[in-house]
A and B are shown apart, each in its own frame.
Chain A
Amino acid sequence: MLDWLVSVMPGASTSRFHTTSWTLVVAAADGQSTTHSRLALESLCQTYWRPVYSFIRRSSGDKDQAQDLTQGFFALMLEKKYLQDADRARGKFRSFLLTAVKHFLANEFDRAHALKRGGGKIPISIDPADAEGSYAAEAAEQDTPESLFERRWALSILEQVMAKLRAEFAGAGKSDHFDQLAGFLSGSAETPYEALAVEMGISPGALRVAVHRMRRRYRDLLRAEIGETVSKPGEIDEEIRFLLSTLSAS
């Protein structure tokens, strides 16, 4: 509780609560529509368990415990204990989840309960090697649990968007195009347009159009994904800037 107060006291802001992944939270927090809630929640958990794992892992320092606690956290979410507070927290879904996991760790009863159950009712499947591998690769010495959470959050969003984009290409039978063009999204493509056009057997003009379309689609997907986690579309750029700051080079 003390953590909660501290986190909200200094200049905290509460933005409004609308449609968003928030819509999922609302569905999950309804507490009535049991089955729908579970679907909604499982979708949330699958997308955002990694940031939560990173936070808990950095806070607790013990990887076995971190896995159980992550499971336990989501199990509690499933029981809606935290979700019912969601509309009280308001604002960005990212902030809500971070506050919720802080609450969870600060609450000895919940923590003990989670460890005792070892994530008995498993809302998400954590692959220990996968979780620990990405944690080890991403965690730097100076990272706080929060900074790790935020950076992992940014990466989870990007991964989700890339997966969706890839799935769209795959759905159209163009998986190979995706692999060839993806590098242009961040400007990191090494092959020049002309050479790639020859390789793909299309004209450079057609390639430019394809890249342009892919960029536009990527941008739409990214903004939609982030739009799901903020309270209104006008906050998307602000959120992107924030996520950028979590990935800064220094």
Chain B
Amino acid sequence: MSAPKVCEQCGTPLPAGGPLNGQCPRCLLNAGLRDEATQLTPGAQLGPYEIVELLGAGGMGAVYKARDTRLGRAVAVKVCREQFTSRFEREARTISALNHSRICTLYDVGPNYLVMELLEGETLAARLRKGALSIDLVVRYGAEIADALAAAHAVGVIHRDLKPGNIMLTKAGVKVLDFGLAKFIRTPNAPPQQAETLTQGIMGTPAYMAPEQLEGKETDARVDIFSLGLVLYEMATGKPAFAGDSQAALIASVMRCEPPLLEGVPEKFAHVVERCLKKDPDSRWQTASDIRAELEWAGSAVVAVAVAAAKRNWWWPSIAAAAVLAALGVAVLWLRQPARLDLSTYHYRPFAFTQEQERFGSWSPDGKSIAYMLGEDRLVVQPLEGGAPTRLTSPALWPFVWSPDGARIYFHSPREGIRAVSSAGGQSELIFQGDRDSREESYDVSPDGKALVIWRVPRSQDGRMRGSVWISSPPGAAVREYTPDPFATDGEAGAILRFSPNGKLLYLSMRAGTGVETWVLPFPPGSGQPRQLFRNLLWNRVVEASWMPDNQRLVLSGNLAPLSAQSLWLADTRSESLTKLVDGSAEHWWPTVSPDGRRLLLARVERDSDIVELPLDGSPPRKLLATTQREHGAAWSPKGGEFAYVTERNGPNELWVRSVSGNWDRPVVTATEFPTLLFLLSPAFSPDGARIAYTVALAGAGNQGGLYISPAAGGTPIRISGGFAPSWSPDGASIAFVWNRPGGAPVAATLRIGSNQTPFELPVPCDDPPVWSPSGEWIACPGKGSTLLLVSPDGKATRTLPRMGSPALAWSKDSQTIYGIPNQNGRTLLGAVDVRTGAFRRVAEYGPELAPRALFSVTALSLSPDGKSLALATENLHTDLWILEGFAK
């Protein structure tokens, strides 16, 4: 074998020939990096400063750690691509006079570099990549930033580029960087998709700039107020308030749109942010010190809410309550509705509401029946008033389109084309045969029944795919392409097509190269020009739609970037205005407006995680805790009547303890204890019920994640070890767990609490977390190859029991039986292994709601104190059809 060729420039081995034309992949990648004209190597001298290392690179240049050789102190040096002007140097010297504990001090200005206070910590931007901050941190940091702004504004310095990347989180709190520098630094060569880009005379970062700044108008200190609002918003939600896939879209969004509503935050805080974000500077808070005061006030409200939460979990009505209200025909959307959306006329009622999935509803032309998909692929029809669904055919895929006389329903038949079936049932008929090389998945039939329009993606002879609208008229006839077709896309893309009620317009949404687009096409072709709608909106998915009877407005179901819940809007195709119809956490899909325009059929998708109990007598599972929020990690308290669980009610994972009766529900561990928490899982009560051991994962390198113990009544967490999934010894003195052995693979181990010793490694190859028996005799763990391993706590005795194949185990109270939840042919079993004989017994087999895919990703089983059931977490996606009335005024 000959020696591989290496790149002459960088020494990387070159791939032989292939799609890269023999070019060096490393050099190719390098060519994609931004211009690095500011590269300096350690040891390089810059005036009196000696470069130590690169700290980071941004839009305006690179930042290095350096040493001031005159004073011997460490500093940060920001090197810019361009030489500064003398005016800039003068201004910068003014800025360097700023001396405030929340402002990073500017020490010196060189010909193309700035010398600043060296700060240790991470930028807020880096922190936000891990998610939103807890509300108390948001308030605290917000007040500190406002403090810095107030100090600078007092001496006439405006920041003009306040953003998470310019805010450092240090041990001493917030430090704001780069005051007043945006005005002077431009990088004309930066690529347009960079958020940091500064172009064409606009100074700052568009995603964090005030409208008047973007318009290039005269600006004052109130631009910083707007930016602060954006920073507060992003801290609270983890997402930027405005987004766009191009700079133009982003700017348009800042200029014209309102950010998604802040939810789940104290009212006062939301008010502070909203007023910061007023487009008109005169309507904003006028000074940064006002905001600081407001935030401090909001901060006291945060504490009040936490106290209320600790007293009683009152603000999340349970699913049961919601279902009762729904049954009564009352709008349930009041749950989390924003104040500005008037839902007083809304009236919801469930239409198809079973354990199975119901979706893709479609009204019959007389408005008296609805066709929809039941389960995975069954087309059914159900009368609006009373009556059960009648199964028409399967497999049938969406869209379902009624013929104008209501006699037939068209459906998509996989790998075949478009079929139609009588609305009374019977044999279906192939209407349109799809090509082998094309895809005919989106279509609609004109209201007069004379034309079938199809989104086809045929493959041309050179292998390219091109998506466009084709017409088959009468349905089944040879297709011709809709022209002109400015909406045609390269490559494969899903689409939605919808005829207006008068048949003169065709709504189209599809994924194009640049993102999702929405269009209105005149019909028949040639009767006008296709027109793109909402060019400036960035949708995450193809936008479903249904026309109102006025042939002008559409009800849209879409998901706007940044990723949010699938929601509903009323869109006017002429004025291109968009009004949100609903709000809240439920996802709304596939709206269809009734022929009279008064009712809206839609599918509500709930992603639900619950805690359930599996009775050991084999009877059906019972819900232990079912709310609209995600919850998992149930662990029974040995005292009985209460259990610990992990909830996302406030955003980050929190550990709460709840009484079975639901009378009380209180937090034990929250973001206050772990501000950098990624997630918390596997809680376990100590045998005396006084303490809870659990696992935390924290953000940041060298973090102190691992096993912690907190008093069950709340209090300071104590770290026990690196590792996860604790199981207590019966005497409460030790813990079995999975130890992240430094420098090695994780192993099952035990540790005496508070001993400061190295964990004791158990001599068995565990595949999942170990579980200590109540008798203390054995520690059980799921072994490799689905065996069940028993090991004595001293490691001297081991036994192998027949396969259980369960990701989680639990012991019976008498330590004679081990329970597990093996997966058999896609179903979850409750299995029991007799410890003495090794005999396996099937206790129960569960339905789809407990299918393996519905089990929480980190499954754990907890035996109830009476020994009669096991608690575990499940997660299910559920879709029901609802009818909404009174939505369009």
Contact = CB atoms under 8 A, between A and B. Distances in A.
Interface of A: 1-2, 4-6, 8-19, 23, 26-27, 30-36, 39-40, 42-43, 81, 84-85, 87-88, 108-109, 134, 137-138, 154-155, 158-159, 162-163, 167, 179, 182-183, 185-188, 215, 218-220, 222-224, 226-227, 231-234, 236-237, 240-241, 243-244, 247-249
Contacts of A81: 853
B32 A138 contact: no
B699 A13 contact: yes
Interface of A is mostly: helix
B189 to A, nearest CB: 11
Nearest to B562: A18
Given A32-B589, A185-B28, A10 B705 contact: yes
A9 B741 CA distance: 12
Given A11-B703, A84-B877, A18 B25 contact: no
A40 B494 contact: yes
Contacts of B9: 186-188
Contacts of A234: 125, 194-196
Given A19-B245, A218-B31, A11 B702 contact: yes
Interface string B378-421: 00000000000000000001100000000000001010000000
A26 B23 contact: no
Nearest to B9: A187
B28 A186 contact: yes
B786 A247 contact: no
Contacts of A240: 29-30, 32-33
A162 B19 contact: yes
B129 A16 contact: yes
A185 B859 CA distance: 50
Contacts of B515: 19
B701 interface: yes
A126 to B, nearest CB: 16
A188 B191 contact: no
Interface string B539-568: 011100000000000000001011100000
A35 B412 contact: yes
Interface in B734-763: 738, 740, 745-746
Contact of B563 (A8, A26, A42): A26
A1 B858 contact: yes
A61 B442 CA distance: 43
Contacts of B175: none
A58 to B, nearest CB: 17
Contacts of A26: 540-541, 559, 563
Nearest to A17: B563
B191 A219 contact: yes
Contacts of B697: 8-9, 12
A32 B857 contact: no
Contacts of A10: 703, 705, 740
Interface string B768-785: 110000000000000001
A21 to B, nearest CB: 12
Contact of A88 (B563, B740, B857): B857
Contacts of B144: none
Nearest to B165: A234
A172 B522 CA distance: 31
Interface string B588-626: 011000000000000101000000000000000000000
Given A13-B699, A16-B131, A108-B785, A39 B238 contact: no
Contact of A11 (B563, B699, B738): B699
Given A18-B561, A35-B439, A186-B27, 17 more contacts: A6-B740, A9-B722, A9-B740, A10-B705, A16-B239, A19-B243, A26-B540, A32-B359, A32-B605, A33-B542, A35-B442, A39-B441, A154-B25, A154-B29, A218-B32, A234-B196, A249-B13
B12 A247 contact: yes
A14 B699 CA distance: 8
Nearest to B12: A249
Contacts of B8: 188
A186 B678 contact: no
Contact of B397 (A34, A220, A227): A34
A56 B541 CA distance: 31
Contacts, number: 236
B20 A159 contact: yes
Given A4-B857, A13-B129, A27-B541, A36 B28 contact: no
Nearest to B879: A32
A249 B9 CA distance: 11
B130 A13 contact: yes
Give the one of B32, B589, B705, B725 with max A CB within 10 A: B32
Contact of A186 (B13, B24, B767): B24
A233 B493 contact: no
Contacts of B11: 249
A32 B376 CA distance: 9
Give the one of B19, B30, B492, B725 with max A CB within 10 A: B19
Given A11-B702, A219-B32, A158 B6 contact: no
Nearest to A34: B397
Contacts of B768: 1-2
A232 B493 CA distance: 22
B738 to A, nearest CB: 7
Given A19-B245, A158-B25, A249 B10 contact: yes
B202 to A, nearest CB: 17
B238 A5 contact: no
Give the one of A13, A26, A81 with max B CB within 10 A: A13
B785 A15 contact: no
Nearest to B785: A108
Interface in B788-811: 805, 807
In order of increasing CB-CB distance, the 6 nearest A-B pairs are A36-B494, A186-B27, A35-B441, A249-B11, A222-B32, A159-B19
Given A2-B767, A9-B740, A32-B589, A27 B20 contact: no
B650 interface: no
B461 interface: no
10 contacts: A13-B129, A13-B678, A14-B129, A32-B603, A40-B511, A42-B492, A84-B877, A137-B16, A219-B191, A249-B11
A218 B20 CA distance: 13
B23 A183 contact: yes
B344 interface: no
Contacts of A13: 129-130, 678, 699-700
B21 interface: yes
Given A13-B699, A186-B28, A249 B6 contact: yes
B536 interface: no
A241 B805 CA distance: 42
B708 interface: no
B26 interface: yes
A2 B738 contact: yes
Interface string B865-884: 00000000000010100000
B858 to A, nearest CB: 6
B519 interface: no
Give the one of B10, B766, B859 with max A CB within 10 A: B10
Contact of B34 (A6, A14, A85, A237): A237
Contacts of B359: 32
B844 interface: no
A163 B28 CA distance: 14
Interface string B694-725: 00011111110110000000000000001011
B15 interface: yes
Contacts of B129: 13-16, 231
B823 interface: yes
A182 B31 contact: no
Contact of B494 (A2, A27, A188): A27
A162 B21 CA distance: 9
A47 B531 CA distance: 32
A134 B464 CA distance: 25
Give the one of A5, A183, A232, A236 with max B CB within 10 A: A5
B63 interface: no
Contacts of B47: none
